[in-house]
Chain A
Amino acid sequence: MEFFKSLLMILLTSVLVNNYVLSRFLGICPFLGVSKKLNQAVGMGAAVIFVMCLATAATWPIQYFLLDKFELGYMRTIVFILVIAALVQLVEIILKRYFPALHASLGIYLPLITTNCAVLGVAINNINDGYNFVESMVNSLGVGLGFLLAMVLFAGVRSRLETARPPKAFEGLPITLISASIVALSFLGFAGIVDGIFG
């Protein structure tokens, strides 16, 4: 029971409190770039969840069974980015060959994710926070869900922005950033919610 409670705490923390996009500033580029339409936002979010879990499943064993064992900790950045990039390419090829329907809906987002700092960030953070394998997977899932949540919420806000008429200098990116600021403000309200529930 304790075990599941701690997993649930990790999940809720990474979805709501430490939301990667809105409070830790990781993965801002896709957040601003692909959140114009709801269906694109959902597709991107789903692809990110998928790649994050996959990347963690690959990088965690590499860190503990390869890098730590042979004292190569300083190679982490190079190894992780290469593994993630290769993995994403491999998955794309496999999807294209065997699951064309899935590829049609997620495929176009995959190359975008290779150089997404949220994916590399979650892989490195899992190691820095000292999570074990199950915890790392749950954390990655939570971070991915948090990303999806932020994207979907923000897509809704942005569809309203299309018809709004801000001052000329604010048109486009500046007003988008300021709305992102307000969405981030609302996420500040979640601080302490996990301690409140489980405290």
Chain B
Amino acid sequence: MTKMQNFLKGIIKENPVLVLVLGTCPTLAITTSVLNALGMGVAATVVLLCSNMAVSALRNVIPDKVRIPCYIVLIAGFVTIVEMIMHAFVPDLYESLGIFLSLIVVNCIILGRAEMYASKNKVLDSAIDALGMGIGFTLALFVMASIREAFGAGTWCGMEIPFAGDYSIMILTMAPGGFFVFGCLIALVNKITGKKHDKSNSGCAGCPSAKFCGKLVGENNTDEEEQK
């Protein structure tokens, strides 16, 4: 796999949100406005980049048995740094992202990439992987937020859209609309990619961290090796 392919896979083929279905909580909660979505995407990308590079650099130092707690500490450290920076420079965004900024710690995209990719690959490759995944995450959030904000509130990035404001569908900005738009987007991606319905891809079982986070859904743990 060349570096370019490695970068692009996170954006399209293995898009963390729409194909791997990871990090659903912030995806549903934050996408009520485009600016929030972009802020969240950038914050998560920075954390992912730092944590992937750190995990990769330390992959021969961290003992195998305690690797998950080590990753969590590393990730939590970077999340705290990002939180403090955002609190200082973009206080409005910090307020509107609220608790979901701290919850980047338990976002399975980040822990999943650390476990599945960074712990086995060189620093540069891990950084490229993180950038691709981060941009894929941001793009998916951006698309979903654009739909929800434009049709739900009649604005885009806070700017009024002519006509749309008169026919806004309020429910799209509320909780049920989040589930609905997300479901439709995944269906659209399924339709375009022609991907056959894969049972193992729903929810926890599709999460790469399911493998180490629980023995529960033993029936269908997806291995990256199997997909290749």
By a beta-carbon cutoff of 8 Å, the part of chain A in contact with chain B is 22-34, 40, 74-78, 81-82, 85, 108-109, 111-112, 114-117, 120-121, 124-125, 128, 167-178, 180-182, 184-185, 187-188
Contacts and interface: CB of A to CB of B under 8 A. Distances in A.
A25 B216 contact: no
A175 to B, nearest CB: 7
A176 B184 CA distance: 11
A180 B106 contact: no
B191 interface: yes
Interface string B196-225: 011101111101011001111100000000
B96 interface: no
User: Chain B interface mostly helix, strand, loop or mixed?
Assistant: helix
Interface residues of B, number: 55
A117 B21 CA distance: 16
Contacts of B178: 25, 181, 184
Interface stretch (B1-9, B24-32, B118-126, B152-160): B24-32
Nearest to A168: B197
Nearest to A40: B216
Contacts of B107: 117
Contacts of B188: 169
B186 A177 contact: yes
B80 A74 contact: yes
Given A28-B28, A82-B73, A116-B106, A172 B176 contact: no
Most buried by A among B83, B106, B203, B216: B106
Given A117-B103, A124-B102, A169-B191, A181 B197 contact: no
Given A85-B69, A172-B198, A174-B184, A111 B214 contact: yes
A91 to B, nearest CB: 15
Nearest to B102: A77
A93 to B, nearest CB: 15
Contacts of B199: 172
Given A112-B216, A188-B175, 15 more contacts: A25-B29, A29-B24, A30-B204, A33-B217, A77-B80, A78-B76, A81-B106, A108-B215, A109-B216, A120-B103, A120-B105, A167-B187, A178-B184, A180-B179, A181-B176
